[in-house]
Each structure stands twice: as C-alpha cells, then as structure tokens.
C-alpha cells in the first residue's frame, strides 16, 4: 500500500490534478481536514471508503490511522489543502511514516497564493517591477519563526510578499511593513480563494487593516503585498519581446 499525500487545492473541487482525482477515487481510506478540503472531493471516494476528518486529531492519532491502513494493505489518500510543499505539516507525518516503514508519495496541488493571484488577475513576477516572490507566514498561535525570517528582514528587498496565516494580525503587521514598502504600497487580501464565497479586498498598507476589520475576515485568507499588484507600465518580458535578438 501507499500513503498518497495529495494537494487538494485552495477550495474549488475542480482545482486538483488528474492524478489526485484518480488516487482519491481509488483509495479505500481518505484522511482530510474538514474545514479546508471541499466536500465534493470526498464524494468521489470509493463506496464504503473510510473517511477520517483530521481536524480534531493529533499527530499520533493521524499516524495511527495511516499505520493501521498500511497493516491492512489499504492505500490512503491523505488530503492537504493547497499544495503540501508549504505549511501542510506533511514533514512530521513523513518522519513518523519513515520510522514505521510505511511507504508514501506526494501529489502536488494548486497553492492558495496561486489561486489568489488568479482571482486578482495578476502576475506576481512583472518585468522591471518585481521578479521575486517571498512566501512566508506570521507567528501567533503557531510555531515561532526562525531567526532572520521576520517581516522587516524579508521585506528589505521590497520583493512581493505573500503572507499566510496573517490576516487576523494584519493591524499589527502593517507597521512592520511600512518602513520598506511605504504607506501607498498596494495590498490585496483574498479570502477563500476559488470558492463560491470568495472575497477580495484591494487597498494599500495605509487602509488594508481597516478594510479587513470591516469585512470581518479572520482566517482562510492570503495577503499579498507589492507593486506588482497595480503595475501598468513595464517592459515586455524578454521571452516574447519583439526587440530581442533572434
């Protein structure tokens, strides 16, 4: 058997890969985070599949489910929202599966920041404006950030910042961003990207915290900070430029 760590995408049930859909439909055990994974994905599991919501389980309990499936010879679809390569808590599960001798593989998914950029209809790497995207988060009730990964340090390059797990603290974070980006720097907040109840807020560092508070956004949102969000005048990329050397 194999544990398939599957990126379940940002929320829309059809934003998954063909491989992911095939594995979900063929795995007799499915573990998922109930608050984050769309119910429509679970409806494609095989009849009689064991469906386990991990929202109230700790790591030991999740590991026990995976090991039990292994011992029974049953493949597992382990669904993680977005893409499992970032902020998925997949690494600690893999560490325990390695110790237990349980095989696994990984199926990538559509990350939340990509779904947010699509909803905004913006490219995050615009020639002459911004060519670097920093994916990071903030530390509140989660594990502390490593030294040197604070917003003041990461923002020194003025690269486009994508903040996860940050919207509930945005009023505290704005002062940390102002020295590097300025009050007029564009900001977008996309809550529940790709879902039917998606909400988009556009503003600047000067007013985005007020907008977030007024809209009551507290979770499941991505915050994007950078000049690329409103860039209109910029050179064509070299790839398709009509003036490049041929």
Helix (H) / strand (E) element for 214: namely helix 208-215
Dihedral of CA atoms 112, 113, 119, 120 in degrees, nearest 10, equals 160
Q: How far apart are CA 126 and CA 237, in angstroms?
A: 8
Q: How far is CA 213 from the centre of its chain?
A: 22
Which residue ranges form the domains of the chain, and what is each CATH number? 3-107 (3.40.1010.10), 112-229 (3.30.950.10)
20-43: pLDDT as tens digits: 999 999 999 999 988 888 888 999
197-245: pLDDT as tens digits: 999 999 999 999 999 999 999 989 999 999 999 998 888 888 777 766 5
Q: Which residues of the chain fall below pLDDT 50?
A: none
Q: How far apart are CA 242 and CA 236, in angstroms?
A: 9
Longest pairwise C-alpha distance within the chain: 62
On the CB side of 127, CA atoms within 13 Å amount to 9
Q: How far apart are CA 144 and CA 151, in angstroms?
A: 13
Task: Evaluate whether 70 touches 42 at the Cβ level (below 8 Å).
Answer: no
Model pLDDT, residue 244: 61
Q: Cβ-count burial of 183 within 10 angstroms (0-12 exposed, 13-18 middle, 19+ buried)?
A: exposed
Model pLDDT, residue 142: 65
What the block records as the tokens of 45 is 């599991």
Number of residues in the chain: 246
What the block records as the tokens of 50 is 């064991």
Model pLDDT, residue 186: 98
Model pLDDT, residue 224: 98
Give the CA radius of gyration of the chain. 20
Model pLDDT, residue 35: 82
pTM of the shown model: 0.91
Task: Evaluate whether 103 touches 3 at the Cβ level (below 8 Å).
Answer: yes
In 3-state terms, what secondary structure has residue 21? helix
Model pLDDT, residue 239: 79
CB atoms within 10 A of CB 15: 21
């Amino acid at each position: 058997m194999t544990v398939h760590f599957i990126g379940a995408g940002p929320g829309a049930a059809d934003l998954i890969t063909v491989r992911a859909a095939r594995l979900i439909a063929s795995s007799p055990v499915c573990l998922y985070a109930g608050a984050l994974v769309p119910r429509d994905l679970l409806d494609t599991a095989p009849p009689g599949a064991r469906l386990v919501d991990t929202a109230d389980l700790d790591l030991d309990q999740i590991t026990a489910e995976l090991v039990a499936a292994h011992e029974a010879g049953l493949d597992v679809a382990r669904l993680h929202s977005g893409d499992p390569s970032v902020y998925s808590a997949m690494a600690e599960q893999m560490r325990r599966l390695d110790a237990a001798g349980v095989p696994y593989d990984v199926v990538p998914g559509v990350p939340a920041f990509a779904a947010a950029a699509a909803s905004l209809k913006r490219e995050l790497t615009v020639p002459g404006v911004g060519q670097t995207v920093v994916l990071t988060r903030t530390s509140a009730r989660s594990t502390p950030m490593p030294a040197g990964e604070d917003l003041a340090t990461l923002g020194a390059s003025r690269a486009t910042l994508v903040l996860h797990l940050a919207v509930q603290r945005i009023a505290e974070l704005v002062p940390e961003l102002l020295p590097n980006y300025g009050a007029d720097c564009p900001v977008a907040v996309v809550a529940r990207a790709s879902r039917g109840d998606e909400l988009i807020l556009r503003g600047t560092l000067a007013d985005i915290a007020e907008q977030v508070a007024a809209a009551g956004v507290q979770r499941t949102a991505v915050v994007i900070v950078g000049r690329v969000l409103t860039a209109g005048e910029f050179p064509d990329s070299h790839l398709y430029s009509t003036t490049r050397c041929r």
